[in-house]
Chains A and B, each alone.
Chain A
Amino acid sequence: MDPRPRDKQMSIDEVVAELRDGMTIGIGGWGPRRKPMALVRAILRSDLRDLTVVSWGGADVGLLARAGKMRRAVYAFVSLDSVPLEPSFQRARQSGAIPEVMELDEQMFLTGLRAAAQRVPFLPTRAGLGSDVLVHNPEIRTIRSPYPGPDGAHDDLVAMPALRLDAALVHLNRADAHGNATYLGPDPYFDDLFCLAAERSYLSVERVVPTAELSDGVPVQRMLLNRLMVSGVVETPNGAHFTACTPDYARDEVFQQLYARAARGSEEEWEAFRSRFLDGDEAAYQHAVRTWTEEQR
């Protein structure tokens, strides 16, 4: 048999065991779409604390805030789309439960990830100029262009610092055991960039398949991640629930509403949600969701 690259498959708990208190963790996906929720849920159950979370925010940010796991949130928005204002995040911000926030413009956020991926200390962008993002984040400086514009003026631009990640967590549709992976939905989001900006990247997928199957009937342009970018692979069927993982499944809108109601409700209502769905392991979560879903019929 030909020699094969190493097998990077891990368990959910093995991924979380590689994370440390105080780390900067990037979370892929976008709002309520293709979030590595099984890994996020495992962090909720862990002893990890003081994390800096860098995310196009959805329930990942909300849940980590509610669980008191975050020392610092780096985001440009936190939203569930059909529930525009993420209720756990909103509550945490309004009660001062997140010690530090770095609220950025989306283009700044993207530019910071690109700088980290290119291993440069910053990249220039117009985004942020004139806005309060620079007032609330005084460590972000501007820089004068060494080159004149067509009018001879030298633009001052935002020198967006690199958003370096200790670890990235992303969720895709299929991967092989070595870390090559495809997304089958309409949008790659920035999962490749998160992996490039990170020291180590952990990939959860709906299904681990033989390498040859990744491009079998699937356009090669869908092979978003290669194994150079990936440290560990975890098979977590339905692992993005309740966010969307098109085409494997759509967002679980009914469950998202249940979550939002609990998050907006009293402490008792939140405790009931948490103990029913979040206190056990991933298998227990999936079982509890199935049971609840059947009860709604």
Chain B
Amino acid sequence: MSASAQGPATRAEVCAAAVADAFAEDGETLASPIGLIPMLGARLARRTVNPDLVLSDGVSLFMADDPPLGSTGQEVEGWFPHPRVFDMLTFGKRHVMMGAPQLDRHGNQNLSAIGDFDRPDRQLLGTRAAPANTVNHRTSYWIPRHSPRALVERVDVVCGVGAAAARAAGSGATRFHDLHRVVTDLAVLDFTGPDGTLRVRSVHPGVGADELRAATGFALDLPDPLPRTRLPSSEELRLIREVLDPRGLREREVPAR
């Protein structure tokens, strides 16, 4: 074992293992991880707890192998062009982990614009498929900078649909609505709070209650004692460091602290 594989887990590695946990119980499902750490975590899940996961190259192919971050896989197991993405979305055997420039207490996510929609302070990507994802299949979120700007009381534009908004829209929206997990650089959350609101499951090692409260834009109801996010196992660390991300790209998305 190399010397690097023996060092303690970094924050990025804790996040990757938390992402893997989010995909652990999905069985034979298409994982659509958006972002470096989500991609690393999904590949880690396929190498450990859930070998049945289906993963794409992010362009047009299903890949049977798990290449290092920044590389392309070699073994194609399927054709997955854009029209098929939407087929799988409505088919429902899909778990997306999206980014969230804003995510609110109620589980609504905003990818569209910051400020007033008609004349935004900052135009973002657009709504993308967030509304479709959230009412069709399991959805999780990845937030690389847990801050009061990202975790807000109320999003400026509702793209991903939270539990209360889905309920208000009726059975058409709730039938397949399944918000699962939020992984940030500070904590792991889920949607089991009152009325499907965000709830803290665990904080990453080294994060205190005060730091988490200060980094969150709404009042948090924290359990006492506060659970700690688990550390990656030595086998997970070996896979991350030697196989899945030998270039250490993960440390750029979540710098060590």
Contact = CB atoms under 8 A, between A and B. Distances in A.
Interface string A113-138: 00000000000011111111101100
Contacts of A145: 172
A23 B67 CA distance: 46
A189 interface: yes
B59 interface: yes
B127 interface: yes
B165 interface: yes
B123 A77 contact: no
A77 B81 contact: no
A76 B86 CA distance: 14
Interface stretch (A37-45, A153-161, A257-265, A275-283): A153-161
A104 interface: yes
Contact of A186 (B59, B134, B159, B162): B59
Contact of A130 (B61, B120, B121, B135): B135
Nearest to A132: B158
Interface in B117-155: 117-132, 134-136
Contact of A131 (B89, B90, B127): B127
B172 A132 contact: no
B170 A156 contact: yes
A108 B161 CA distance: 15
B222 to A, nearest CB: 28
A194 interface: no
A85 B125 contact: yes
A156 B81 CA distance: 30
A127 B158 contact: no
Contacts of B165: 130-131
Nearest to A91: B123
Q: Specify the main secondary structure of chain A where it touches its partner.
A: loop
A106 B112 CA distance: 12
Contacts of A125: 132
Contacts of A132: 112, 117, 157-159
B125 A84 contact: yes
A131 B170 contact: no
B99 to A, nearest CB: 10
B192 to A, nearest CB: 19
B128 A105 contact: yes
Given A156-B172, A187-B59, A108 B123 contact: no
A75 interface: yes
Nearest to B176: A126
Contacts, number: 149
Interface string B167-188: 0111111011000000000000
Chain A interface bracket (under 10, 10 to 19, 20 to 34, 35 or more): 35 or more
A104 B81 contact: no
The interface centre, meaning the residue of B59, B113, B126 with most chain A CB atoms within 10 A of its CB, is B126
B126 A103 contact: yes
A202 interface: no
Contact of A93 (B113, B158, B162, B172): B113
Contacts of B161: 129-131
Contact of A188 (B83, B121, B125): B83
A57 to B, nearest CB: 7
A75 B126 contact: yes
B24 interface: no
B169 A156 contact: yes
A13 B125 CA distance: 32
Contacts of A106: 86, 127-129, 132
Contacts of A76: 126-129
A283 to B, nearest CB: 32
Interface in A64-111: 75-79, 84-85, 89-90, 93-94, 96, 103-108, 110
A111 to B, nearest CB: 9
Contact of A155 (B60, B132, B171): B171
29 contacts: A30-B82, A75-B126, A77-B127, A77-B128, A78-B125, A90-B122, A93-B119, A94-B119, A104-B127, A105-B128, A106-B86, A107-B89, A126-B132, A126-B135, A126-B175, A127-B131, A127-B132, A129-B169, A130-B168, A130-B173, A131-B159, A132-B158, A132-B159, A145-B172, A153-B171, A155-B171, A186-B59, A188-B82, A190-B83
**Closest 10 pairs between A and B when the two form their complex, measured CB to CB:** A155-B172, A127-B132, A107-B132, A77-B126, A186-B60, A131-B131, A130-B161, A129-B173, A93-B123, A187-B81
Given A78-B126, A187-B82, 19 more contacts: A85-B124, A93-B119, A105-B127, A107-B89, A107-B90, A107-B131, A126-B135, A127-B131, A129-B170, A131-B131, A131-B158, A131-B159, A155-B170, A155-B171, A155-B175, A156-B170, A156-B171, A189-B82, A190-B83
Interface of A: 30, 57, 75-79, 84-85, 89-90, 93-94, 96, 103-108, 110, 125-133, 135-136, 142, 145, 149, 151, 153-157, 186-190
